[in-house]
Amino acid sequence: MIDSISRQEPGRFASDDATAKDSLRKTNVVVADDHPVVAMGIGKVLEGRPDIRLVAAAASISELLETLQTKPCDILICDYSFAGDIEPDGMQLLERVRGLYPGLKIVVLTVNDSLAVVRRIMSLRVAGFVSKSSRDFHALPEVIERVMRGERYIDSHTSKMVVQRMLDSEDTSRAQASAQLTAREMEVVRMFASNMSVTDIAKHTNRSLKTISTQKSKAMIKLGASNDIELVNAFKQLY
């Protein structure tokens, strides 16, 4: 299912290697998901496609970063959340990968399809977004083809959801969203809005960086903020 490939940079191939020459005729795909059954499912979906090569499946963030350093990769199919991983996931992971490999095409495959998350993910110029609950999961080969042609892809389920939630959001105030913040999420946002960094907040509250980052990310989602400036502005408007 996963081909054995020599050590190379993502998207680069050695011209004197038979395997590398063969990979020029294929789209090299790396999958990153902390659920083995999902990776196996993707492998089954891509099986039998002579134009697509699944070169590796990573189950953790550290494994993903190592894989991208050692395997050729045209498209990364990546989950948004890695439960229990000590490395920052979500937007921080996508920003990190985008910074390291600006030309890499990324398709996010996740169960988290909230409007705020979809907006934030697409703002990073990812190539595609596919909800795990969508029927389009089984159309991944076609998604890969479209992405390789330079198209951006959002599955039909998420597209309809985004439009509906955007219409619904016209009648929903930020105040209602802020009521969903936990006490600790509110504390983190308040400190962040007062010019404290995530590191400073972690030290001040005696919590880990991972915990503070997670609480900040959850607050951003609840307040519909796509970046730090919007988060601070949302807080100031409410308080």
For 35-73, the pLDDT digits (tens) are 999 999 999 999 889 999 999 999 999 999 999 999 999
Q: Confidence band (pLDDT; 50, 70, 90) for 238?
A: low
Identify the pLDDT of residue 160.
72
Domains 27-164 and 180-238 fall in the same CATH topology: no
Q: Which residue has the tokens 């090299």?
A: 28
Q: How far is residue 72's CA from residue 199's CA, in Å, rounded to a whole number?
A: 35
More confident site: 108 or 89:
108
Q: Which residue has the tokens 């600006």?
A: 102
In our burial notation (b when 16+ CB lie closer than 10 A, e otherwise), range 177-216 reads bbeebeeebbbbbebbbeeeebeebbeeeebeebebbbbb
Identify the pLDDT of residue 112.
79
Alpha helices in 26-173, H assignment, sequence order? 36-46, 61-70, 90-100, 115-123, 140-148, 156-169
Structure tokens at 102: 């600006």
Q: What's the CATH number for 27-164?
A: 3.40.50.2300
C-alpha R_g of the chain: 19
Q: Which residue has the tokens 């039909």?
A: 156
| Full-model pTM | 0.62
SS3 content of the chain, % helix, strand, coil (to 5): 50, 10, 35
> Is the dihedral angle over the CA atoms 22, 26, 32, 35 positive or is it negative?
negative
- Which residues pair with residue 32 across a beta bridge? 58, 78
The highest-level CATH class for domain 180-238 is mainly alpha
What percent of the chain is predicted at pLDDT more than 70?
A: 81
Q: How far is residue 203's CA from residue 179's CA, in Å, rounded to a whole number?
A: 26
Q: Confidence band (pLDDT; 50, 70, 90) for 96?
A: very high
> Can you give the residue ranges of every domain in the chain?
27-164, 180-238
CA dihedral 10, 14, 19, 21 (to 10 degrees): 100
Q: Confidence band (pLDDT; 50, 70, 90) for 186?
A: confident
